[in-house]
Structure 1
Amino acid sequence: MPLSFVVSFLVVLITACTGSPNPGVSPVQSPNDDRQYRLLTLENQMQVLLISDPQTPKAAASLDVNVGHAENPDDRGGLAHFLEHMLFLGTDKYPDPAEYEKFVTEHGGNRNAYTSFEHTNYFFDIDAAYLPEALDRFAQFFISPRFDEELVDKEKNAVQSEYQMGLKSDSRRGLDVLQEVMNPEHPFSRFSVGSLDTLADTPQASVRDDLLVFYDKYYSANLMRLVVLGAGSLDELESMVAPMFSPVPNKAFEHETIAAPLFTAGELPAMLQIKPQATRRLLQVMFPLDDYRDDYRVKPMSYLGNLVGHEGEGSLLSQLKAEGLAESLSAGSGLGWRGGSLFNVSVTLTEEGVENYDRVVQLLFNYLDMVREAGPKRWLYEEQSRVAELAFRFKERAEPINYVASLASSMHYYAPEDVLQGNYIMSDYQAQMLEDMFSHLEPANALVILDDQSVSTDRVSEHYGAPYSIAQVREAQLAVWQGDAGELPLALPAANEFIVDDVALVSVDKASAGNPKLVLNEPRKRIWFAQDDEYRIPKGAMYVNFRSPEVGQNAEQAAMAALYTSLLRDQVNEYTYPALLAGLNFSFYKHAQGVSLRISGYTDKQFVLLKDILADIAETGFDQQRFDNIRANFVRSLENAVAKRPSSQVFDDLRESLLHGEWGEQALIAALQSTELDTLNAYAASFWASASAEALIYGNYTDAAVDDLAGMLDMVVPSGKPPALSPLQVTKLAEGERALFPVSVEHDDAVLAWYLQGAGNSWQDRAATALTAQIMKSGFFQQLRTEQQLGYIVQAFSWSQLDVPGLVMLIQSPVADSAALAEAMEAYLGRVEGELDEEQYLRHRRVLVNEINRPQKNMWERAEFYWQSIAKKRYAFDGREQLAEAVEAMTLADWSAYYRQNFLSLSRSLQVAAPGKWGVLPTGDQQEYPSAAEIKASHNVYIIE
């Protein structure tokens, strides 16, 4: 249950929904949305949105409480977050703390929650038939939670683990500093995560007493918004939901406007410097502004963010790159509260940018001056409005669990009729409001934050120990920021040529519908084609895989391929960025056997974009400065791997041990440091000389698209017989093998990732391994996390590598060494079979079959399935059916025999362990390996043709 500092820049209209919605009001729906909706207000003033979707395989629900860490008492940092944890651990009606997690998991579901500044959001999904039982358990969170004393004491350790896990996170550390330097009277200054110290009992009150007080005060039905999505009719859903949630008490609590300013008079302008853990070169400029959330039809911050954050020709980022000062830039609204908001500009700097950060700030204010002098532009506003309107018109289905969680939060802020379209409305152009907002974007109203290892600091933040310094900006520095940056090609964005004109749907030929067909098969070019006859939107996916033997053989090739794709993305960014804004997505990235290019979105302008990109590829030539900066940024990102979450670092080491063609950070850094521009240009020429292309065209296309794509591919793909490719390989562990790979992670926590490989890669092996993960995951979490409190990250899951099945158990622990973690995991493995009866097994099997057969909910899921099937040479596109049949055919006796043989007695085991502060590794008769390379060199492999 992660605590998230989640602030949507579109969360607005806090006053519009404080009363009861008109029962006759229905939310405005996208024309592409065929679900049914109903808004209602229960007797206790809880507002509810019901969604009927008879075809949904998953039901989902979310309840959002308009309470977050802003309400933490001054002496109880993290209390709101701790309360979020505790609600999962038993109620009067369902006292077993494992019951909710077990029921949801055994019936195909997931559950989670997050706490932010103003919100605590609880959500789950489940197989649609089991919504009533799950919803009844969920409702009890808000009626009669137990707050069991023993569990209160245990769960404090989970919060402490989550807190410790973030101690090396620069984003958490930066937030800690920001909260420390702002006005202590503002509630945002309160510690959000919590720790054993802040949640300890005191002579005045136990933390349980404070939880009860907090819950009784703030968890009021009138502050709650509930969204329920199910397969039943609206009447059926209402008759189920109303009696379940009407008993939630209404304490009639009303929030007051936060009168305290974020920074007191005279504090700004200020310069805040923070020393990060990682090599992080980040400049942020924050401007406190009015609260514009009521003005969601205007969206003034969205308009401003589009201008400042633009990446096209004439943009601020374009100039920063031209001067070698920055790599990336983002701009938009950050925190919003009842009474104010922040507008943030974030710039990732180069080394030169750090040395000349005053110039970066000066360029920002020169750009803002230009925007202010130009004044609001209705045509620019209407462009954004048109893009937003199209996005809502052709809105596609999201995962039910994500959809309900987002809507429950939005319901606090949008008028009832706008709860579905509030994020997309931008219909009320108000020039005066925009001008008023522009007037606050001045140096005198700025907090400038520089994160870099080189900064001078004189203080340390209380909770995360981040070194920092803060000072008022001196007149001389302020004069530089306000000074004239010289004659510069800064300009407002040009008219966006990629905004779609034609949204007509093409006629579908029955022969071209259904699964893709290979319609072009030449030695160096293969094109698969299918028209969409189900989703019927004016969009499509065009994917091209360029394969070459120049990728995947060594670390040098891997580094150069990744660097080349980064340089190319940078080179085309100025004209692909407007396409992105217009709903036309582009990506270009390295994979195991080559590089892939993807274009997706509205089909109207796709070939215009593709032609420009391929022309740039064909010309191949990069600027020396951009090469130097991007290579340095790439090296820095690899060096910063040490600042990643310890469990993520260990998991990366596990992946490197198994996948041939994967190399660790040090090998890639060495390769990059020896790569020069001439070397890279030679590599690119060699890559394209040996490249072949396989493509998929799927969506709203005519068959003429095949010829168009084939002709354009000739710009980069040569003719003739392609060279042979090396096959993909996965490390093959031996029956009965016990391997140990100790890794070094700079963190006190111990981590163990225990990988158990399936006996083979047949459908039966995949089915048995996936079933094992489904059976294990709930109990593993409940016993090792909730009961034993071994850590915050406690997971068991299925993890296939190129269809070689495997099972992973993963724990990051601040309280136990990796030997103790291995013992706890092994003990759990020994209990799994004995705790499973026939009825439970059949439930798990049904859940897994349902998940495998779950229909793709949108065009992009379907396109990804087709693309992965083509990559795996499953040209019958029947992989899901094959796996589902194998699972369905496996009896409990079959599974038990497989489990005992392959996961207990003769397992194929690899443990990747970070010893943490204890310096202790798992014990036993294990073969220890010093590196991932040594593991791969000493083992046989699965050959993936």
Structure 2
Amino acid sequence: MACQQNSLPACFVSLSLRAGHFYDPNDCQGLAHLLEHMVFMGSRHLPKPNALNDFIERFGGNLNAWTGTEYANFHYSCERHALEQTLPAFADALRQPLLNIDAIQNEVRSIDAEFKFKRKDDLRRLYQIHKETCNPAHPFSKFSVGNQETFTRHSADKLRTLLKDFHSQYYCARNMCLCIATPLPVSELSNLLEQSFGGFAPGELAPADWPLLYTPDQLGIEIAINPLQQARRLIVTFALPGLHNEFKTKPLNYISHLLGDEGEGSLLAYLKERGWASNLIAGSGIEGDAFKDFNISFQLTKQGLKDREQVLNALFSYLELVKQSVDTPWRFHEKAQLAALANQYDENIKPLTLVCDYAQYLFMYSAEEISQFRSLVDSFDATLINNAMRYFTPDNMRVKVIAPEVATSQTCRFYEAKYQVNPLDDALLEQLRTPQRIDGLALPPPNPYLGGDYQLTLPESGQDTPHCITDKPGKQIWFAQDQQFHSPKGDIYLSFDVPAFSDNLHNVAAKRIWLGTLNDYLQAKYYRAEIAGLHYRIYGHQCGLTLHTRGFTNQQCLLAEQLLSAIMSFTPDQATFEHHKAMQRQNLQNTLLNKPTNRLFSRLSVLIQRNTQAPVELIDALCEVSYASMSTTMAHALDSYYIEGLMHGNWSASQANSFADTVDKACADANGQPLSRAVSRLPVGAPLYHEVPCEHDDASVVLYLQAPSANLQDTAMCMLLEQMLAAPFFNVLRTEKQLGYIVGTGYVPHNQHPGIAFYVQSPNQSPSTLLSAITSFLFQQLGEIEFYRHYWPTIQQNLLKQLQEHDLSLSMKSQRLWVSLGIKDRGFNRNAQLAAMVSQLTFEDIQSYAHSLAERSLFGELVLFSRGRFAGIDVPEDRSVNSISSFKQRISYFR
């Protein structure tokens, strides 16, 4: 399938193969995943590992792949006119992988590291229990990832033979579907496709005649599971055939739309009112061509866990209302209108995601049908919806109860998660078959935010550039009219810098609790606005909080005004406070269970940004916040504050001025100054070290190098050096040295102060070994920077391309303008300035800068590490950061 789009900024390619883990041999599970890795480890024309990745990156692209249940997928992007060069190389890697034995053994170690990395991931643990409690004759029950144990049952030669056989059987023409989105005429692609893919053997389409996913005794059961995180969840699963493939009516989308409603009268609102649940998600679940799990997932409170039978009663009572809704189809038509509206004005279309989806759809649908997916308005079909609803019965469900306190008696393979399976009580099943009607439950009324006419505002001279329309002590509001995207949408940002929200840990903790209660209060009140394309977020930042609304401009100003009023006046009751205090503590405790590398980067932000706090500190502070102290904090927090805003989109100047007047009146007490986003000034010449305790077996190290300033030259140099070193760092430390699964570099600015991070997480090596490998690589490469002279023009051009990229959507442009305001870039052209700087730099400039960095006379250095099951790093006391608060008190700051 080829799609010609002249406006596309690049080419996007996706190849889907019916070669997922369902086709793994029983005695070598994970083989499909291993072959996916081996495709990148060298082919006839590009024999070096990761050479294909490097080749595509030279043409401004990215390459990736995944292995799913029935399908594997390989996809990449490249510059508009680079398809002729890249497509043959892509096809060659898929057709003729070398399958070198040394590379196979390396990738087995990489997959084992990936497996170990996820062993303490609750989702992976839940997934494995799911596999062990389904039909063992169904291929879903297979272990899809693979690890050292499953692969080393075979000799290296045998494993290579298995890979060759798998490749020969499944990587064939009839087992492939290809989708390309390109600005090139389709007529020009024929020869290129023949040249690239003509050499594939025809082969046979892999069979897909699986048995039922669940046997009768695997339905009507309860599975109790102990998680690692402090969470309580109830997941109700209904086993369905492939109803998600009904693309004209989409009956499951309609059912999930009603079940997932969060407005007044909804199932979630009812459960919240009774203190049983705090969140509900409907419609997710595993799926294949011929099967679908429909999940309703509840985030329970402690009381909800005790009363979970009542939660199930409420669910089935609401399901009865959904069944009755088929007789009143206006809700379906409203849902179809909302979906059509979202598609018509979708600003976040990701071409690479679309071509990946379409490549897989080609196994089931014609190209003509696929072309209708985004334009076809859902058609009402009562028979189809009623047919779908007949699967939503107590006897066709599985119930997972996930909580630390539930009794368990079994341990799953590979991930060591505890669980227990019991049949659901017959009396409960009988009760759920004829659920009692609950007066507090009601289907949603007509959506008052669904407009009938979305008009564009006429362009006005001089209004398309951001300019300040309110400039008074304590407040600045900026406006720019959209004259580029011609969309009836816009964004409003309002940021509050509040000294009382950042001057001590108690107040930061009180702010977190209050924001949780505020958002909970607003959720049911404005849910219908959300699904009608009027979105909002109210979130905390290091100096206060931000209100962001986005979407259709009609009624958005009214919504923003109402939300602003809530910020100024809302006070929760004590019961709501206690509930959200417990939730915030649980959330913070769960962040302490994040993967080691994630923990290290989180702590890096805490140490570098003066007004960012660590979860471990906030947990203690939360415990000390009382309802009275939170109320006092909130009552006086806005005695002094500064507000800055931006309005960008489909508004006229008069509408913008009117809204600015509203903000001016609502925030009449604003009298403060913008707060400093200060960052720590790391010492130059010798690194500081900080250990982060982490309950994970893997060791992890992050080396952070902080630029000497935030000026254009230092920023550009950081960006260039990171891009220059990224690929070789990955190739040497991951592919060659096999230090771990998580290996990489990153350009990491903090409050726009530039820096570079190098990181490795390993199940096999100590932090000392990892740090030695990182520093040896870094200083050797910096000392031999002449090697990169050949690559310099490509690296320079790739960065220039990134910096010169046009805004792809109105919301993307709004965000860029908002960030520019945050860094005081009143010309709104920081990227253009950086591009000009990058274009002026010579390789000799890079060489000189790299030598200064290698001599450790330029950058500040900070090493963060987690020891895992290994010994830590022996650190001199005067270089060790043991206390976050002491470090922040004694360090100097960039301001």
For the criterion TM > 0.5, the same-fold answer is: yes
SS of alignment partner, residue 206 of structure 1: helix
Which amino acid in the other structure matches residue 891 of structure 2?
H
5 Å matches for 1:449-528? 449-479=400-430, 481=432, 484=435, 487-513=438-464, 515-528=465-478
Compute the displacement of 1:394 (Å).
2.1
Which of 683, 692, 704 is the matching residue for 2:642? 692
State the alpha-carbon separation in 2 of the partners of residues 476 and 552 from structure 1: 54
Partner in structure 2 of residue 17 of structure 1: none
Structure 1 CA distance, aligned partners of 2:669 and 2:425?
64
Q: How many correspondences in the alignment?
A: 892
Matched, 1:87 2:36: no
Tell me if the contact between 1:68 and 1:115 (Cα under 8 Å) persists in the aligned partners: yes
Residue 112 of structure 1 corresponds to 64
Q: Distance in 2 between matches of 1:521 and 1:406?
A: 48
Alignment map for 1:12-23 (pairs within 5 Å): none
Aligned residues of 1:414 and 1:422 also touching (Cα < 8 A) = no
Amino acid at match of 2:832: E
What residue is the counterpart of 2:590 in the other structure? 640
CA distance, structure 2, for counterparts of residue 423 and residue 255 of structure 1: 29
The match for 1:41 is none
Contact 1:104 1:110 in 2 (8 A): yes
Q: CA deviation at 1:181?
A: 0.8
Give the CA deviation at 1:157: 0.7
Q: 1:903 to 1:765 in 2, by over 3 A?
A: farther
Mapping of residues 248-263 of structure 1, within 5 Å: 248-258=200-210, 260-263=211-214
Q: Deviations over 1:32-54 (max 9, x none)?
A: xxxxxxxxxxxxxxxx3233435
Deviation of 1:699 (Å):
1.2
Paired residues of 1:358 and 1:481 also in contact (CA < 8 A): no
User: Is the 2:317–2:438 contact (alpha carbons within 8 Å) kept by the matching residues of 1?
Assistant: no
**Cα separation, 1, equivalents of 2:780 and 2:149:** 35
Structure 1 residue 102, shift from structure 2 partner? 2.0
Counterpart CA distance in 1 for 2:875 and 2:53 is 32
Q: 2:2 aligns with which of 46, 49, 54?
A: 49
The question of whether the paired residues in 2 share the 8 Å contact of 1:61 and 1:229 is answered with yes
Q: Is the 8 A contact 1:798 1:807 kept in 2?
A: yes
Aligned partner of 1:156 among 100, 104, 108: 108
- TM-superposed CA distance for 1:451, in Å, is 0.6
Aligned to 2:676: 727
Between the aligned partners of 1:243 and 1:558, the Cα distance in structure 2 is 62
Residue type at the aligned position of 1:517 = H
**Distance in 1 between the 2:884 and 2:355 partners?**
42
Residue among 176, 183, 206 paired with 2:158: 206
Structure 1 gaps, min length 5: 1-47
What is the rounded CA distance, in whole Å, between the counterparts of 1:933 and 1:194 in structure 2? 44
> What CA distance in whole angstroms lies between the structure 1 residues aligned with 2:85 and 2:483?
36
The one-letter amino acid paired with 1:109 is G
Query: C-alpha separation between the residues in 2 aligned to 1:52 and 1:772?
Result: 34
Indicate which of 800, 810, 829 corresponds to 1:849: 800
Q: Quick one: which amino acid aligns to residue 270 of structure 2?
A: Q
Q: CA RMSD in A?
A: 2.1
128-137 or 836-845: which moved more?
Answer: 128-137
- Relative to structure 1, is the Cα distance of residues 264 and 204 closer, same or farther in structure 2, using a 3 angstrom cutoff? farther
1:181 aligned to which of 130, 133, 142? 133
* 2:11 corresponds to 1:62: no
Aligned to 2:333: 382
Separation (CA, whole Å) in 2 of partners of 1:666 and 1:315: 36
Give the match for residue 281 of structure 2: 330
What's the CA shift for 1:725? 4.5
Tell me the distance in 1 between the aligned counterparts of 2:37 and 2:453.
Answer: 49
Preserved contact between residue 125 and residue 400 of structure 1 (Cα < 8 Å): no
What amino acid is the match of 2:254?
Y
| 2:636 equivalent to 1:683 | no
- In 2, Cα distance between equivalents of 1:150 and 1:109: 28
Name 2:358's counterpart in structure 1: 407
**One-letter amino acid of the structure 2 residue matched with residue 306 of structure 1:** H
Distance 1:905-1:294 versus aligned 2 partners, 3 A rule: closer
Q: Structure 1 residue 626: deviation in Å?
A: 2.5
Counterparts of 1:277-426 in structure 2 under 5 Å?
Answer: 277-396=228-347, 398-422=349-373, 425-426=376-377
What does residue 767 of structure 2 align with?
818
Q: Quick one: distance in 1 between partners of 2:220 and 2:685?
A: 65
Residue 869 of structure 1, aligned match among 810, 820, 824: 820
Q: CA deviation at 1:714?
A: 4.7
* Distance in structure 1 (CA, Å) of the matches to 2:20 and 2:538: 40
* Aligned position for 1:804: 753
CA contact (8 A) 2:642 2:674 kept: no
In the TM superposition, residue 293 of structure 1 has moved relative to its aligned partner by 3.6
**Distance in 2 (alpha carbons) for counterparts of 1:101 and 1:935:** 41
Give the SS at the match of 2:571. coil
> Residue 888 of structure 1: CA displacement?
1.6
Shift of 1:336: 2.1
1:908 to 821, 837, 860: 860
- Select which of 593, 601, 608 maps to 1:658: 608
Mapped to 2, the partners of 1:323 and 1:925 lie a distance apart of 53
Distance across 1 between alignment mates of 2:179 and 2:459: 37
**Cα distance between partner residues in 1 of 2:4 and 2:702:** 40
Cα distance change on mapping 1:678 and 1:706 into 2, 3 Å = farther
Matched, 1:220 2:172: yes
Question: d(CA) in 2 for partners of 1:829 and 1:619?
Answer: 54
Q: How far apart are residue 55 of structure 1 and its match?
A: 5.7
CA offsets, 1:843-894, max 9 Å, x none? 1111111111111111111111100001111111110111112212221111
Which residue matches 1:429? 380
Shift of 1:486: 6.4
Instruction: Give the counterpart letter for 1:328 in structure 2.
Output: N
Question: 1:104: how far off?
Answer: 2.7
Between the two proteins, what is the percent identity of the paired residues? 27
The answer on whether the counterparts of 1:52 and 1:234 sit within 8 Å (CA) in structure 2 is no
Shift of 1:545: 1.2
What CA deviation, in whole Å up to 9, does each residue of 1:404-425 have, x standing for no partner? 3333334334431242442564
The range that moved more, 221-230 or 439-448, is 221-230
Question: In 1, Cα distance between the equivalents of 2:361 and 2:131?
Answer: 26
Q: Which amino acid aligns with 1:753?
A: V
- Identify if the C-alpha distance between structure 1 residues 824 and 294 changes in structure 2 by more than 3 Å, giving closer, same or farther: same
Q: How far apart, in 2, do the equivalents of 1:519 and 1:485 lie? A: 57
Structure 1 residue 718: Cα displacement: 2.3
C-alpha distance in 2, partners of 1:400/1:759? 39
Deviations 1:528-581 (A, max 9, x none): 111111111111111111222122222222222222222111111113221221
Match of 1:568 among 513, 518, 521: 518
1:411 maps to a residue whose letter is L
The DSSP-based 3-state class of the residue aligned with 2:658 is helix
The residue matched to 1:347 in structure 2 has which SS?
Answer: strand
2-structure distance, mates of 1:412, 1:476: 44
- TM-score in terms of structure 2 length: 0.96
Aligned partner (choices 596, 599, 613) of residue 549 of structure 2: 599
Three-state SS of the structure 1 residue aligned to 2:592 is helix
Distance 1:106 1:831 in 2: 23
CA distance 1:409–1:602, change in 2 (3 Å): farther
Q: Distance in 2 between matches of 1:238 and 1:400?
A: 21
Which has the higher mean CA deviation after the structures are superposed, 268-277 or 736-745?
A: 736-745
Deviation, structure 1 residue 693:
2.3
Q: In structure 2, how many angstroms separate the alpha carbons of the residues matched to 1:609 and 1:782?
A: 50
Aligned 1:549-568 pairs, distance under 5 A? 549-568=499-518
Is the CA contact 2:577–2:627 (under 8 Å) kept in the aligned structure 1? yes
Shift of 1:809: 0.3
Residues 469, 657 of structure 2: 8 Å contact kept: no
Measured in 2, the distance between the counterparts of 1:932 and 1:51 equals: 55
Shift of 1:783: 0.9
Q: Is residue 657–residue 933 contact of structure 1 (8 Å, CA) maintained in 2? A: no
State the Cα deviation string for residues 880-916 of structure 1 (Å, max 9, x = none): 1111122122211111111121244334211001111
CA distance in 2, matches of 1:621, 1:262: 49
1:337-396: per-residue Cα shift (whole Å, max 9, x none)? 243211110000111111222221121112112322444531111111111111222233
- Cα separation, partners in 2 of 1:736 and 1:71, compared to 1, 3 Å: same
